[in-house]
Structure 1
Amino acid sequence: MYQKILVVEDQEIINIGLQSELKKLDIETVDHVKYCDDANLKIQKAIKDKVPYDILITDLSFEKDHREQYLTSGLELVAKLREKKINIPVIVYSVEDNSEVVRRLVHTYNVNAYVCKGRDGTRELVRALHNIFNGQEIYLSSKVMNARQNTMDSNIDDYDIQLLQKLSEGFSQKEISHYFKEAKITPSGLSSVEKRLSKLKDIFRANNPVQLIAIAKDAGFI
């Protein structure tokens, strides 16, 4: 089993549960941080000191507080590591069960496992650790098993990303329609914008535009 693990989790009660389960595996070192920036620095320093971490376990979303953060999500952390060619195995441990988010993490950033938090979350996490250590296939919780598909069933395209970007900038649907007309982006009609936003909410399982933007940002689309 792995002997040096880094856990990135800002909820203390969840971290306590993780620490308890990991201790049962006789892992020599389990370090814990609450910020993705700190995780990024610790991983890079460990590599520089020639004592790298064997695996990273990270949450996906983190609460904002008084501290200014450069990397604000688990996805941003993994993306930064991959950008620097750091191929540390990664388990994402999150309450989010959106398949589009999982698919992006698996196929774009080579995440090794995605475990959904819940009643059996910590036990699933242990199974994921064993799977990865033994060189088995990607481990996904049952809630997100359809993320194994390599293509996006929802067909998120450049049009959708531009639409989401404008929505995140505070544009109303009417203003987005006007912007698309000026930029010669089609379809630009208000009814088309409204229909596509409604479809995007279904795809991302968002109840309102605010939640849609938050999920799209977590997934790295905007």
Structure 2
Amino acid sequence: MSKKTKILFVDDHQLIIEGILSYLRDIDGLDITSTNSCDEALSLVKAHAKTDPYHILFTDLSFDNGSDNMNIDGGESLIKAIQKENLPIKIGVITGHSETNRVYNVVHNLNPLAYILKGQCNTNELNFAIQKMLADQVYYTHEIHEKLLKRAMVEIQMDDVAIQILKELPKHTKISNMEGVIMKGNNAVKIRAIESKLAKLRTDLNANNNTDLVLKAKELGILD
């Protein structure tokens, strides 16, 4: 059995693969395999699982080279497939996706041990992430960590009334039309209370106006 750390890297862009591999090759003790197919990645993980397993899989999230012949159309589906089959491999994401909602959903639903941004990674960061992952510890790029922290802080500040207001806001041309729609328990929230809550939400989310507020809420994953 290999004494090296076996890594499988999955990305559909060959130039990205070569760039990441150039960083990984500068790290001692790695045995690296790459593929641009999620289907092939799953097959490789399964084929090696009992004899000489991969220790770490790094995958992008979005794949543009899909076809009707492919069963797995992206990194999220690949992670789900690996987790469904309980394959013993540590999973990390290396991607260009930094949208707060996307990041939150991937981390919250799939629990990757690492989330690294392509445009910012280098040999030192990848080496640090790999060591963390091998120790079953989480590593997120600083920007990702900050986004998740902000999302968590905003979520703490949200209550049922705030969520209702944010969901209803795009549906009404006037704030006054929301009176009787927003409820707290069995009681309708008065217009003055709605306006007060809106003002606080704009401050909390650093929004310039109500339209900007809705956009910020969507960016943070509070709204779909």
- The normalised TM-score by structure 1 is 0.63
Deviation at 1:89, TM superposition (A): 0.9
Alignment of 1:45-64 (within 5 A): 45-47=47-49, 49-64=50-65
Question: Is the 8 Å Cα contact of residues 94 and 117 (structure 1) preserved in structure 2?
Answer: yes
Match of 1:143 in 2: 143
Q: 1:88 to 1:150 in 2, by over 3 A?
A: farther
The CA distance in 2 between the partners of 1:72 and 1:198, in whole Å, is: 33
Match of 1:178 in 2: none
1:188-207 alpha-carbon deviations (Å, 9 max, x no partner): xxxxxxxxx9977544549x
**What SS does the corresponding residue of 2:27 show, helix, strand or coil?**
coil
Q: Which residue of 15, 33, 36 maps to 1:31?
A: 33
1:60-94 alpha-carbon deviations (Å, 9 max, x no partner): 11113556322111111101111112242111000
Which has the higher mean CA deviation after the structures are superposed, 36-45 or 94-103? 94-103
How many correspondences in the alignment? 173
The CA distance in 1 between the partners of 2:73 and 2:67, in whole Å, is: 13
Question: Is the 8 Å Cα contact of residues 5 and 55 (structure 2) preserved in structure 1?
Answer: yes
The CA distance in 1 between the partners of 2:120 and 2:150, in whole Å, is: 26
- Runs of 4+ displaced beyond 6 Å: 197-200
Gap runs ≥5 in structure 2:
164-170, 172-180, 183-210
**What SS does the corresponding residue of 1:118 show, helix, strand or coil?**
helix
Identity of aligned residues (%): 24
1:27-83 alpha-carbon deviations (Å, 9 max, x no partner): 352111101111111111111x42110000111111135563221111111011111
The CA distance in 1 between the partners of 2:45 and 2:37, in whole Å, is: 13
Q: CA RMSD in A?
A: 3.6
The CA distance in 1 between the partners of 2:57 and 2:215, in whole Å, is: 31
Answer yes or no: is 1:14 the counterpart of 2:40. no
Match of 1:106 in 2: 107
Amino acid at match of 1:85: N
The CA distance in 1 between the partners of 2:102 and 2:113, in whole Å, is: 14
Gap runs ≥5 in structure 1:
161-173, 175-185, 188-196, 207-211
Q: Which residue of 26, 39, 42 maps to 1:40?
A: 42
Question: Is the 8 Å Cα contact of residues 103 and 148 (structure 1) preserved in structure 2?
Answer: no
Alignment of 1:156-175 (within 5 A): none
The structure whose Rg is larger is 2
